[in-house]
Structure 1
Amino acid sequence: MTTTGIDWDHPKDPRPGWQLDHVRQYVESGGTEGHHWRGTQTLLLTTVGRISGSAVRTPLIYGEADGSYLVVASRGGSAEHPLWYRNLTAHPEVRIQVGPEVMQGTARTATSEERAAYWPVMVGHWPAYEDYQARTEREIPVVVIEPAGRKPAAGA
């Protein structure tokens, strides 16, 4: 399946709850609110559903390294990977909103060497990642998102 023809501008958002509230605040403010959250920074990741083929948006804590954005597929230490991670492993083309900037990008799982370098960066942003890793036998992936082009968010 190709991501050509995906309606990136009208993604499916999370179910009602704090994540949906976070996404709405982020989008409605053009990224001026919601980017900073609980002492860290967040972005909105839009992936292509591996089953639905539709755009799906998720708020995530992020870090930066070497011109790329980093996110962690923790799912709170669950034994299973989050859906967004399974989506991007099937379709690596993604869209992210970082504050007021929206950009397409390509996502990939960090190599072992990259993970060793990037894991401490991400734990610095959200120390609970260490607790999440202790809860599960799976190695929690760090995802590298390499941006392609940037444009201002709607309303920004």
Structure 2
Amino acid sequence: MIGVRAVQKVSSTRAFARIAPHVIPAMDRAVHRLTRGKVLLSAQMLPGVILTSTGARSGQLRHSPLACMPVDGGWILVGSNFGRTGNPAWTHNLLAHPDAEISWKGEQIPVTARLLAGEERAEVWKAALAFWPPYATYQARVDREIRLFRVVRR
């Protein structure tokens, strides 16, 4: 598991936070499109989905490749934004329009998202840190509370 530790260390750096948001999603979208929804490059390290949400302001469909944490009955999406200052746009979209769709292992699944809060969020946050420890570095780097969403099939 030396490879995983190396990736976790690199993904915790500020340089990664500056570069990754521009490179990784673009690569994921291209590969996902070319493989007809069957492959996400980033999912070789962490499970991943393509979230199709409705833009909070534009009303346009937005496609966001995201790491996810599969859980019984759905998925957890973590709005870490690679440890950058603001919340990622997809979190604003889900708050405005919780009904969305995910592409999971080649299947298009209608879902509903719910922002987690309180004890439920605290419990899921502990599981997220065990799942991907760099989330702790991301949280330490920002003043905002990283948003967590539970996404379930509609």
Fold shared, TM-score > 0.5 on shorter chain: yes
Alpha-carbon deviations, 1:99-137, whole Å to 9, x = none? Answer: 111111111111222212211322233221110000011
What is the Cα deviation at residue 16 of structure 1? 6.9
Q: Please report the TM-score for the alignment, with normalisation by the length of structure 2.
A: 0.78
Total equivalences in the alignment: 134
- Out of 98, 101, 124, the residue aligned to residue 95 of structure 1 is 101
Structure 2 residue matching 1:87: 3-state secondary structure? helix
Q: Which runs of 5+ in 2 are unaligned?
A: 1-20
Measure, in 2, the Cα distance between the counterparts of 1:36 and 1:83. 19
Partner of 1:52: 58
RMSD of the TM alignment (CA)?
1.9
Secondary structure, aligned partner of 1:40: coil
Q: How does 1:4-153 map to 2 (within 5 A)?
A: 17-34=23-40, 37-148=43-154
Identity of aligned residues (%): 30
In structure 2, the residue matched to 1:4 is none
Contact map agreement 1:62 1:122 (CA 8 A) in 2 = no
Q: Give runs of ≥4 in structure 1 deviating > 6 Å.
A: none
Structure 1: segments with no counterpart, 5+ residues: 1-14, 149-156
Q: Please, which moves more after superposition, 130-139 or 70-79?
A: 70-79
